[in-house]
């Protein structure tokens, strides 16, 4: 029976980790100050174990390898999460200094032991905006190194006249290379050899020059949104692709990010 248990555990870990542990954020689009709930669900057939009482122990800008805005001290003993069980934790959008975080994309880092007691890390995002049509993530991503997907996000509301708007890239290979694709959002996407293009392939898609990532696999792309009322309501889709030899077609990609300019 012990050998059978080992073989079952090996088969479990060989599968898609994201299908076994589901980390969800509600709401996915939050207004400033709104309480955010992070829920971890064990969809596997074996028990996983949280190392502390916390579901997430830190909140980061854009991705889980990006700058941390909140670090939590999580005491308590090991917490077992049985098959089909969920555990939740909330965030009040406050940072380490007790202040409201800026508008933008934030990521929750959750670490949990798998059935063989190997630590696994999962990452999920929330978009915080005061725009009536907020920036929204959509579609699937593809896994890169260590089973993590690269992430793209924003900082500051995409309002006309915003001079400090930023696109933020995160969780790529440290000192690696990336490109950002820009086009019209396609919620369904088009499968290609390296993943799914989440932009309308029947319309022009623009590729950025190659972007060098820093030692954490992140990059910041500053932008200015002109103070032009004709831009209001215009929508673009963005997707991050990183060079990653461990991924299908040597490319790992983010989910899509739809941005609508607001007044």
Phi, psi of 246 (to 5 degrees): -85, -5
Query: Which pLDDT does position 40 carry in this prediction?
Result: 98
pTM confidence score: 0.91
pLDDT tens-digit profile of 140-197? 999 988 788 999 999 999 999 999 999 999 999 999 999 999 999 999 999 999 999 9
Q: How far is CA 121 from CA 66, 109, 153, 182, 203, in A?
A: 14, 7, 20, 29, 37
Domain range summary for the chain, segments of one domain joined by +: 18-128, 131-263
In CATH terms, the fold of domain 131-263 is 2.20.130
Instruction: Give the pLDDT confidence of 23-61 residue by residue, as tens digits.
Output: 999 999 999 999 999 999 999 999 999 999 999 999 999
For residues 167 and 16, the model is more confident at 167
Q: Please count the residues of the chain.
A: 263
Name the token pair of 224: 């200015």
DSSP string, 2-43: HHHHHHHHHHHHHS-HHHHEEEEEESSEE-TT--EEEEEEE-
Is the pLDDT reported for residue 7 higher than 70? no
**Domain 18-128 annotated CATH 2.60.40.1930:** yes
């Amino acid at each position: 029976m012990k050998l059978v248990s080992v073989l079952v555990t090996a088969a479990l870990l060989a599968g898609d980790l994201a299908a076994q542990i589901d980390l969800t954020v509600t709401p996915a689009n939050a207004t400033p100050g709104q309480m955010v709930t992070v829920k971890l669900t064990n969809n596997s057939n074996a028990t996983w174990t949280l190392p502390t009482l916390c579901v997430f122990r830190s909140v980061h800008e854009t991705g889980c390898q990006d700058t941390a805005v909140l670090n939590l001290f999580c005491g308590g003993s090991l917490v077992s999460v049985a098959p089909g069980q969920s555990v939740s934790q909330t965030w009040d959008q406050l940072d380490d200094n007790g202040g409201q975080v800026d508008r933008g994309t934030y990521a929750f880092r959750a670490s949990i032991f798998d059935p063989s007691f190997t630590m696994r890390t999962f990452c999920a995002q929330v978009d915080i905006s005061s725009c009536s049509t907020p920036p929204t993530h959509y579609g699937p991503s593809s896994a890169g190194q260590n089973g993590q997907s690269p992430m793209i996000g924003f900082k500051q509301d995409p309002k006309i006249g915003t001079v400090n708007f930023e696109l933020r890239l995160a969780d790529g290979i440290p000192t690696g290379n990336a490109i950002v694709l820009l086009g019209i959002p396609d919620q369904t996407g088009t499968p290609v050899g390296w993943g799914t293009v989440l932009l309308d392939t029947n319309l022009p898609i623009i590729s950025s020059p190659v972007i060098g990532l820093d030692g954490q696999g992140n990059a910041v792309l500053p932008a200015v949104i002109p103070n032009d009322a004709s831009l209001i309501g215009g929508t673009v889709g963005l997707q991050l692709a990183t060079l990653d030899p461990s991924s299908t077609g040597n490319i790992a990609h983010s989910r899509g990010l739809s941005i609508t300019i607001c007044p």
